Structure 1
Amino acid sequence: MADAAGRLTKLAEEVLGTPLPVRIRAWDRSESGPPGAPVLVIRHRRALRRLLFKPGELGLARGWVAGDLDIEGDLYEALDLLAGLLWERAATKAPRAAALRALARPELRAAAREMLALAGAPVPPTPPAEEVRRRRGPLHTLRRDKEAISHHYDVGNDFYALVLGPSMVYSCAYWESPDASLEDAQRDKLDLICRKLALKEGQRLLDVGCGWGSMVLHAAREYGVRAVGITLSEEQATFARKRIAEAGLADRIEIRVQDYREIKDEPFDAISSIGMAEHVGRDRYAEYASALYALLRPGGRLLNHQIARRPLADEETYRVDDFIDRYVFPDGELAPVGRTVAQLEEAGFEVRDVEGIREHYALTLRQWVTNLEKHWDEAARLTSPGRARVWRLYMAASALSFERNRIGVNQVLAVRTPDSGTSDVRLRERRWG
Structure 2
Amino acid sequence: MKAKRIMTERAFQNLFGNVQGGSFTIRHKDGKEEIYGDGKPLFTIVLKSENVLDLVSGDMLMTFGKAYMEGRVDVKGDLADLISLAIQNGLMSAVHRKTETRLVTPILGRFRSQKREKKNIAHHYDIGNDFFGLWLDDSLTYSCGYFQNVSDTIEQAQLQKIEHSLRKLRLKPNESVLDIGCGWGSVVIRAAEQFGARATGITLSQEQIAGASDAIVSRRLQDKADVRLMDYAALAKEGQKFDKVVSIGMIEHVGKEHLAEFIDHLENLLKPGGLALLHFITAVNEGPINGWIEKNIFPGGYIPTLSEIVARITDRDFRVWDVENLAPHYRMTLDHWSERFENAVPSVLERFDEKFVRMWRLYLRVSSAAFKEGEVEVHQILVSRGKPVNLPLTRDDLYRSESNVEHKSR
Q: What TM-score do you get using the length of structure 2 for normalisation?
A: 0.87
| Aligned CA distance change for structure 1 residues 262 and 148 (closer, same or farther; 3 Å) | same
Q: Which range moved further: 74-83 or 330-339?
A: 74-83
Name the SS for the 2:302 alignment partner. Answer: coil
Partner of 1:33 in structure 2? 35
* AA partner of residue 14 (structure 1): N
Partner of 2:408 in structure 1? none
Structure 2: gaps of 5 or more residues = 402-410
Q: Distance in 2 between matches of 1:3 and 1:222?
A: 68
Q: Is the 8 A contact 1:5 1:24 kept in 2?
A: no
Q: Is the 8 A contact 1:25 1:31 kept in 2?
A: yes
* AA partner of residue 139 (structure 2): S
| Aligned CA distance change for structure 1 residues 239 and 337 (closer, same or farther; 3 Å) | same
Q: Distance in 2 between matches of 1:26 and 1:356?
A: 42
Structure 1: gaps of 5 or more residues = 97-133, 313-317
| Aligned CA distance change for structure 1 residues 52 and 33 (closer, same or farther; 3 Å) | closer
* AA partner of residue 202 (structure 1): N
Say which of 288, 294, 298 aligns to 2:268: 294
Partner of 2:84 in structure 1? 80
| Aligned CA distance change for structure 1 residues 69 and 431 (closer, same or farther; 3 Å) | farther
Partner of 2:245 in structure 1? 271
| Aligned CA distance change for structure 1 residues 197 and 136 (closer, same or farther; 3 Å) | closer
Q: Distance in 2 between matches of 1:174 and 1:55?
A: 33
Q: Is the 8 A contact 2:283 2:304 kept in 1?
A: yes
Q: Distance in 2 between matches of 1:55 and 1:307?
A: 22
CA deviation after TM superposition for structure 1 residue 380, in Å: 2.9
Partner of 2:298 in structure 1? 329
Q: Distance in 2 between matches of 1:51 and 1:8?
A: 10
Q: Is the 8 A contact 1:174 1:186 kept in 2?
A: yes
Q: Is the 8 A contact 2:317 2:385 kept in 1?
A: yes
1:187-206 CA distances to partner (integer Å, 9 max, x unpaired)? 00001111111111111111
Q: Is the 8 A contact 2:94 2:370 kept in 1?
A: no
| Aligned CA distance change for structure 1 residues 394 and 5 (closer, same or farther; 3 Å) | farther
Q: Indicate yes or no: 2:370 matched with 1:416.
A: no
Q: Distance in 2 between matches of 1:423 and 1:182?
A: 34
* AA partner of residue 138 (structure 1): L
| Aligned CA distance change for structure 1 residues 361 and 297 (closer, same or farther; 3 Å) | same
CA deviation after TM superposition for structure 1 residue 378, in Å: 1.2
Q: Which range moved further: 61-70 or 168-177?
A: 61-70
Partner of 2:118 in structure 1? 146
Q: Indicate yes or no: 2:67 matched with 1:63.
A: yes
Say which of 288, 291, 301 aligns to 1:319: 288
Partner of 2:167 in structure 1? 195
Q: Is the 8 A contact 1:350 1:414 kept in 2?
A: yes
1:95-125 CA distances to partner (integer Å, 9 max, x unpaired)? x9xxxxxxxxxxxxxxxxxxxxxxxxxxxxx
* AA partner of residue 147 (structure 1): K
Partner of 1:116 in structure 2? none
Partner of 1:342 in structure 2? 311
Alignment of 1:7-18 (within 5 A): 8-15=8-15, 18=18
Q: Which range moved further: 3-12 or 154-163?
A: 3-12
Partner of 2:178 in structure 1? 206
Partner of 2:255 in structure 1? 281
Q: Distance in 2 between matches of 1:85 and 1:368?
A: 27
CA deviation after TM superposition for structure 1 residue 93, in Å: 4.3
CA deviation after TM superposition for structure 1 residue 16, in Å: 5.2
Say which of 340, 344, 351 aligns to 2:320: 351
Partner of 1:122 in structure 2? none
Q: Is the 8 A contact 1:5 1:32 kept in 2?
A: no
Partner of 1:254 in structure 2? 226
Name the SS for the 2:131 alignment partner. Answer: helix
Q: Distance in 2 between matches of 1:391 and 1:159?
A: 11
| CA RMSD after TM alignment | 2.6
CA deviation after TM superposition for structure 1 residue 7, in Å: 6.4
Partner of 1:427 in structure 2? 393
Q: Distance in 2 between matches of 1:326 and 1:36?
A: 31
Partner of 1:120 in structure 2? none
* AA partner of residue 330 (structure 1): P
| Aligned CA distance change for structure 1 residues 135 and 93 (closer, same or farther; 3 Å) | closer
* AA partner of residue 142 (structure 2): Y
Q: Is the 8 A contact 1:57 1:87 kept in 2?
A: yes
Partner of 1:43 in structure 2? 48
Q: Indicate yes or no: 2:338 matched with 1:369.
A: yes
| Aligned CA distance change for structure 1 residues 179 and 90 (closer, same or farther; 3 Å) | closer
Q: Is the 8 A contact 1:200 1:224 kept in 2?
A: yes
| Aligned CA distance change for structure 1 residues 196 and 70 (closer, same or farther; 3 Å) | same
Alignment of 1:111-260 (within 5 A): 138-139=108-109, 140-260=112-232
Q: Is the 8 A contact 2:282 2:379 kept in 1?
A: yes
CA deviation after TM superposition for structure 1 residue 208, in Å: 0.5
* AA partner of residue 296 (structure 2): Y
Q: Is the 8 A contact 2:97 2:289 kept in 1?
A: no
Q: Is the 8 A contact 2:325 2:380 kept in 1?
A: yes
Q: Look at both structures and tell me which one has the larger radius of gyration over its CA atoms.
A: 1
* AA partner of residue 170 (structure 2): A
CA deviation after TM superposition for structure 1 residue 32, in Å: 2.1
Q: Is the 8 A contact 2:318 2:384 kept in 1?
A: yes
Q: Distance in 1 between matches of 2:139 and 2:68?
A: 29
CA deviation after TM superposition for structure 1 residue 345, in Å: 1.7
